[in-house]
Structure 1
Amino acid sequence: MVVALDGFLDAGNAGAIACRHLVAEGADVGGGVVVATFDVDQLHDYRARRPPMSFVRDHYEGYDPPRLVVRLLRDEGDTPYLLLHGPEPDIRWEAFCRAVLEVVERFSVSLVVGIGSVPMAVPHTRPIAITHHANNAELLTGTSPWRGELRIPSSAQALLEVRLGEWGRDALGFVAHVPHYLAQLDYPRASHALLEQVELAARLTIDLGGLAAQADEREEEIARYLAANAEVGDVVTALEQQYDAFARAEESGTSLLAEDQPLPTGEEIGQQFEQFLAGLEHPDDSGGNQ
């Protein structure tokens, strides 16, 4: 079962894009049937994340309620698998984990694979880094880029992996490192990288051609914008220098700190990429306004 919850771990909408791709591909081979649903009213904070609806002239319509569902899909080789996707629960995480365990037991799920993404100070011109994690070290398919212990904000998806391990169920996952200046945009390149890992870990065959095309199109948009905006390009260059210095230090086993290559401050990056984001969202609007 693949798990991707919208919200905390979804920089660049990488998980959501990956889910849409899996559902679309699954529908092409006769899959996509919803086999389990969660009572979202017990899990969702509507005031914190208000669902969209339409106001048409003089009335409301088109309410789009949040849905947290499990779908039955099939890969290119007709292998069945489940996809749990939707908004991350705001409350009752323990109850949510127990409900997922019911799904795991009911459908005899042998492995749970989580995907997510986080913003990182990395350039988009370098390979997508992936953090591998698992509740059983034997499940790991790659080496972690981290050393020691990190205290991080928790998520329902991370807690699910912990609880499944306590209940004797195998779970692993992958987190893509998305350039922080692209975290608010759709970034299908990260989705592609995540699904490549899912293929390897879950032994699935997924057609990623369409997703690769979306990723290439986005990269071309970014390249065009950088070519026309030297100031933003300078920030990316600084990130590239920092990234490369870090990689060299890792390879040599020396200090992980890059000398004389300080990262831009958050304020500097924010100022540069407000314009960057506006340019990508409205590429045909030279004034930056609709």
Structure 2
Amino acid sequence: MIAAFEGWNDACQAATNVIRHLVDRYDAREIRHISCDGYYDYQVSRPMLCRALGTPRIIWPQTTFYEIALSPTRRVYAQIAPEPNYRWREYCRQSLHIADEFDVDRIVTLGSMFANCPHTRPLPVDVSHDLECEDPSEGYTGPVGIPTVLDDMAREQSFDTTSMWASIPQYTGNDDCPKATLALLRRLGEELDFDFDAGDLEASASAWEAKASMMLRCSDQLADYVHHLERDWDAAEEARRATQGDPEQAERLVREAEDFLKNL
């Protein structure tokens, strides 16, 4: 089951747009919902007024589960929702009960965050399995969102778990980032051993990148900042290529390159 949540965990809607893309491109049907009652602060996740055939209708925040047929013999499930405001543990228990009902054995959570990375290079996607690190001193520590809580509770209930986070340049603003959505989709395909249909995401990603490059022409300061990020990215990538199979040497070279660039 692939899960993504709007809000704090979803910079530029890159993660939830993966779910929307799959629902649009494949044969998908709604199979379950979790009611909004008791989980949301409506001053934060406000209900929406919609008009269908001239009739006004209030749409309340809710969780939707989909069954998505990728092929005649392959299907996945997906969960999409605004991040709840209250009762996270109960919400995750309810989510995992639905996953168990459909014999799901693996939970894949998607997220996206702003970071110091250049839009002109491949956007990083960090992947972790079962929330565990070989070195306890490595890995993120700090505030977490509902995807991490869902991962943790899923692991306790013997689900396999995978967490995937795309990084988005913080200088590009809050509009949709199709390049990050495409990066998540491709990495998800590698994890699931499936070649997803990218649809118009590649063209949208190219247009997004061109728009971001145009911003640099309007600001020498921003252009200098991005060029610095590019040098960092290129140095780190060169170090990784030069030391494949030797992670300790790669990490040492990356640190040396970063220290050198800071002193330029």
- TM bracket (short chain): 0.7 to 0.9
Cα-to-partner distance string for 1:259-284 (whole Å, 9 max, x where unaligned): 35379xxxxxxxxxxxxxxxxxxxxx
Distance 2:182 2:261 in 1: 34
Equivalences for residues 30-41 of structure 1 within 5 A: 31-41=27-37
Cα-to-partner distance string for 1:226-254 (whole Å, 9 max, x where unaligned): 23443432221222233344555664724
Answer yes or no: is 1:170 the counterpart of 2:171: no
Cα distance change on mapping 1:228 and 1:182 into 2, 3 Å: closer
From 74, 87, 93, the equivalent of 2:88 is: 93
From 212, 223, 245, the equivalent of 1:222 is: 212
Partner of 1:261: 262
TM-score by length of 2: 0.83
Distance 2:203 2:6 in 1: 23
Equivalences for residues 91-130 of structure 1 within 5 A: 91-130=86-125
Cα distance change on mapping 1:200 and 1:255 into 2, 3 Å: closer
Structure 2 unaligned regions, length at least 5: 241-249
Check conservation: 1:12, 1:182, Cα contact below 8 A. Answer: no
Partner of 1:267: none
TM-score by length of 1: 0.76
Cα-to-partner distance string for 1:165-215 (whole Å, 9 max, x where unaligned): 111111112101111112512111111111112112223342013211211
Cα distance change on mapping 1:226 and 1:110 into 2, 3 Å: same
Structure 1 unaligned regions, length at least 5: 264-290
Check conservation: 2:172, 2:212, Cα contact below 8 A. Answer: no
Partner of 2:201: 211
Answer yes or no: is 1:192 the counterpart of 2:182: yes
Answer yes or no: is 1:64 the counterpart of 2:59: yes
Partner of 1:232: 222
Distance 1:78 1:24 in 2: 19
SS at structure 1 position matched to 2:37: helix
Distance 2:68 2:19 in 1: 11
Answer yes or no: is 1:48 the counterpart of 2:49: no
Equivalences for residues 117-156 of structure 1 within 5 A: 117-135=112-130, 148-156=138-146
Check conservation: 1:116, 1:176, Cα contact below 8 A. Answer: yes
Distance 1:234 1:203 in 2: 39
Partner of 2:4: 4
Cα distance change on mapping 1:258 and 1:53 into 2, 3 Å: farther
SS at structure 1 position matched to 2:144: coil
Equivalences for residues 265-276 of structure 1 within 5 A: none
Cα-to-partner distance string for 1:132-166 (whole Å, 9 max, x where unaligned): 112176xx9xx99x962432211111111111111
Q: How many residues align?
A: 250
SS at structure 1 position matched to 2:260: coil
- CA-based RMSD of the aligned residues comes to 2.9
Percent of pairs with identical residues: 25
Check conservation: 2:232, 2:261, Cα contact below 8 A. Answer: no
Task: Report the residue type matching 1:53 in the other structure.
Answer: L
Distance 1:102 1:32 in 2: 21
Task: Compute the displacement of 1:54 (Å).
Answer: 6.8
Check conservation: 2:123, 2:166, Cα contact below 8 A. Answer: yes
Distance 1:8 1:130 in 2: 17
